[in-house]
A and B are shown apart, each in its own frame.
Chain A
Amino acid sequence: MSLLEAVNMALDYEMSRDPNVVVLGEDVAENGGVFRATQGLKQKFGFKRVMDTPLAEAMIGGVAVGMAAQGLRPVAEFQFQGFVFPAMEHIVCHAARLRNRTRGRLSCPLVYRAPFGGGIHAPEHHSESVEALFAHTPGLQVVIPSSPQRAYGLLLAAIRSNDPVMFFEPKRIYRTVKSSVENNGLALPLGQSFVLKAGRDITLVTWGALVVEAMQAATQMADQGIDIEVIDLASIKPIDMATILQSLRKTGRLLVVHEAVKTCGVGAELLARVAEEGMCLLKAPPVRLTGFDTVMPYAKNEAYNLISVGDIVEKSAQLMEDW
């Protein structure tokens, strides 16, 4: 099963289980979403629970807040992460703050879904990774699955969460990463990372589509006798520092890899936390491998901005050599 199908299955499961769950967004009903993440849901649950909205993200963002305050559990789709911006005001000023502002009287149990990231040769504004913008906002949770199984479990958790969740789906691996997923309704915990491969020499933390390259790099490095522990961060906010620090106790070396731009990215936060909380565990300065601080190039030059297996191999070899 693909990551995309797992998203669809989680939506289907939770809509069947909980009549308060509704789906809304542009093209989600009749067309099943431009990526087909909501395919078949309208046929099964009807227009009252799977709603095609007019083309207006500010409205989608805000309407979801109102629905959620009434006890519905809206799952709102933004067609691409680049089109979440019109809704920023509602996400940042309202969804993230309603609970705090009413001292807990009202809340926003909603999920904002959006595909994100580069690597599919999309037109402009379709390829950026801006998870850091949301991680910077108090009151939000930010979740990024990197496998069908985690997409299923984390999306269930996101829908069941009593606070707003930004759920970003790495579209580059929507169809390419496959695994079997049991439709058992079991949620995975939010705020927890997943150790995908144990290792002794380097702690590699990454998320989203880059998990694929990270795992391949780890295999290549293993041939050279270097043992990388690969951690899928999965929850960008809140961050599971315990798993990272525990890993660093073994390895003493941290490499954070993300596709988003470098400056003020999530990598910066991770390095800062490690400096604060785990400096003494380190044998080497913690390092980042990130996108450049540029606008994501259009398709022709996109590859230069994406991180390859070779980049990770090189960076981790350097980390070992230098320290």
Chain B
Amino acid sequence: MGEMLRYLALDGTSVKDWSTVMSSAYLLKLYQHMVLVRLYDKKAIALQRTGQLGTYPSHLGAEAIGIGTGAALEDHDTLIPYYRDMPVQWMRGVSMTHNLLYWGGDERGSDFPSLSGDFPFCVPIATQCTHAVGVATAMKLRHQRSAVLVNLGDGATSKGDFSESINLAGVWQLPVVFVINNNQWAISVPRKLQSAALTLIDKAKGAGIPGVSVDGNDVIAVYDSVKEALQRARRGLGATVIEMHSYRLSDHTTADDASRYRPEEELKAAWQAEPLLRLKQYLINARLWTDSKQHEWEQSCGRVIEDAVAQYHATMPQAPESAFDHLYAELPQELHQQRDALIQKAMRMEADNDG
């Protein structure tokens, strides 16, 4: 795997000086966010299991990547996420309620307030890479001192969209950072069946841009590497590919059963390296955190999450005809009739349900 950026060892001891990267207080904040999104994830799965949410992709094991990346972004940067990116979106100010709406099957989940035109979740694999390069091109043409961050999985690096995007980013020296969440699996297909390349950043070489290998379970390393790549981008020095080595601790989504294809021992080993454990250990050793603080924090996280869930449940349903209302800037005349027909149909369905 070569050199991999890491600051905290698995037992929570520092293996590299990070005093210039962030303060302890800030690290503690990041930890708290990581705990929060992990508890949220658990809740979301519970909601799915009880029929209150649709198919949901867990981010269990990806908390350091999400929170570290989100923390490194500045408001004027643009985030182009993929579907597993609730934690990054959370750091960008997107509410849990929006995430619940999205996975609950409500289009308004992508209608969140955003500082700089962040994109919605991207479901078709790797296509977001091309959009990121487009946004970066616009920034460059306008001489903006901003950068784009795009997230993708290890499987996504197999698609042409990724290769074509990093290629253009290299040729045009674009202000874009590609963050690969290498969680070792693309549904049932393991990393080694995805590419014969030794590491995924080897692909960056072909595009003529730097690649950085990072322990994706170490939030300091994530934050540091992303921050530096974003700064490079904003300074006009071009794109970076970052491979975050991590592990998908959950099923692919709630529709998947990973026990069918994933060795139990491998999962067990991965839990030893998960992102919260070592950080908690470090914070406790540094007397910044205690078990009772953990308990209190979890309680308050629970309240935040419950509030979001309550808001989700209390959200008035979208009007059925809203399917037409955002199709075009102005609905073509010929579609008005269809829109009326949909309203009538919906009224009939509601009457049937009442009756």
Contacts and interface: CB of A to CB of B under 8 A. Distances in A.
Nearest to B105: A299
Contacts of B170: none
Given A298-B105, A304-B346, A54 B160 contact: no
Interface in A114-170: 121-126
Contact of A310 (B161, B255, B348): B348
A293 B335 contact: yes
Interface stretch (A25-33, A211-219, A224-232, A249-257): A25-33
B124 A34 contact: no
Contact of A31 (B104, B124, B260, B341): B260
Interface string A31-64: 1101000000000000000001011111100000
Given A58-B160, A125-B124, A301 B188 contact: no
Contact of A121 (B54, B195, B261, B338): B54
Contacts of B158: 54-56, 59
Interface string B47-64: 000000011000000000
Contacts of B299: none
A281 to B, nearest CB: 28
Contact of A311 (B187, B323, B338, B345): B345
24 contacts: A26-B187, A27-B189, A32-B260, A34-B255, A52-B189, A54-B193, A55-B186, A55-B189, A83-B125, A85-B124, A86-B161, A121-B105, A122-B55, A123-B54, A123-B83, A123-B103, A124-B123, A126-B123, A292-B324, A294-B324, A300-B317, A301-B317, A304-B323, A304-B346
A85 B342 CA distance: 28
B329 interface: no
A93 interface: no
Interface residues of B, number: 46
A196 interface: no
Given A31-B261, A292-B323, A301-B106, 4 more contacts: A262-B338, A293-B335, A295-B323, A299-B104
A191 interface: no
Contacts of B123: 123-126
A45 to B, nearest CB: 17
Contact of B195 (A54, A301, A305): A54
Given A31-B261, A123-B54, A301 B189 contact: no
